[in-house]
Amino acid sequence: MTAARRIAVLGGAGGIGRALVGALLDGGDEVVVLDLAASLERHPLGAPSIAIDVLSETSIGAAMQELARRFPALDGFVNLAGYNSRIQPLAETSTDYFDDVIAGNLRGAFLSTKAVMPLMAEGGSVVMVASGLAQFVRPGYGSYAAAKAGVVALTKTFAHEWAATVRVNAVAPGLVDTAFLRGGTGRSNENGESVVALEAYRNAIPMKRLAYPDDVVGPIRFLLGRDSAYMTGQVLWVNGGGYMP
């Protein structure tokens, strides 16, 4: 019988996160969820949780210390944290908003991955979640696209630097039908109006639909598992054919 893996999911209370945590638990893994306190309160999960705010290096450090007490060695770490609440031209983007998006999506990914690496067991797997916008840039998403392009660069750099012991890969989805489209879990009204023109987006996708959380969960589980044991520094594009590199 295969031993249970120990996996931490950052952003595990979000739409994709909840689906991923459920799938991992169903598969017999031990999971710890890290997310904003408000998100954890709104979406209690059947797994231990630790409050974290990726905008705060102090919060990240405290959360990793608590994680180390629970799981002295991790087999997997998934970074799902990220948000974007506006679609606007870069020329009309305020410096404060640009800085906030970079901090929440890129700086937070850097700090959390840097902090979790010493906790990873040999042979472990880190999965970053980027975005198709990291390569397939579209008008109005400049801040977010820049941040996620940075996440891809972080993924490849960490993969080089830790290749002897830990694999680091990324999943880059297109739009997924979750609260992210309304500003993000814990940061917005999850039932509010989407910031994206969804009908126009669907019509531009060869498969004519948005992704569902499970469409992203499968690729993440693949990268966490032994079937991808010889993969590191790679990006899986999950977008219904909307972007074909």
Full pLDDT tens readout for the chain, 245 residues: 567 999 999 999 999 999 999 999 999 999 999 999 999 999 989 999 999 999 999 999 999 999 999 998 999 999 999 988 889 999 999 999 999 999 999 999 999 999 999 999 999 999 999 999 999 999 999 999 999 999 999 999 999 999 999 999 999 999 888 765 554 544 445 555 665 667 887 888 999 988 899 999 999 999 999 999 999 999 999 999 998 98
What is the structure's pLDDT at 180?
A: 55
> What tokens does 85 get?
């609440």
Characterize 90-114 residue by residue with b for buried, 16 or more Cβ atoms within 10 angstroms of its Cβ, and e for exposed: eeeeeeeebebbbebbbbbbebbbe
What is the structure's pLDDT at 183?
A: 46
Predicted TM-score (pTM) of the model is: 0.91
Give the Å distances, CA to CA, from 72 to 11, 51, 63, 106, 121: 20, 18, 13, 26, 9
**Domains identified in the chain and CATH numbers:** 6-238 (3.40.50.720)
Mutual orientation of helices 142-161 and 108-116 as an angle, nearest 10°?
20
Output the 3-class SS for the chain: CCCCCEEEEECCCCHHHHHHHHHHHHCCCEEEEEECHHHHHHCCCCCCEEECCCCCHHHHHHHHHHHHHHCCCEEEEEECCCCCCCCCCHHHCCHHHHHHHHHHHHHHHHHHHHHHHHHEEEEEEEEEECCHHHCCCCCCCHHHHHHHHHHHHHHHHHHHHCCCCEEEEEEEECCECCHHHHCCCCCCCCCCCCCCCHHHHHHHCCCCCCECHHHHHHHHHHHHCHHHCCCCCCEEEECCCCCCC
**Which among 144, 201, 212, 230 is annotated as catalytic?**
144
- The reply to whether 144 belongs to the active site is yes
Cα–Cα dist 203/205, whole Å: 6
What is the structure's pLDDT at 196?
A: 65
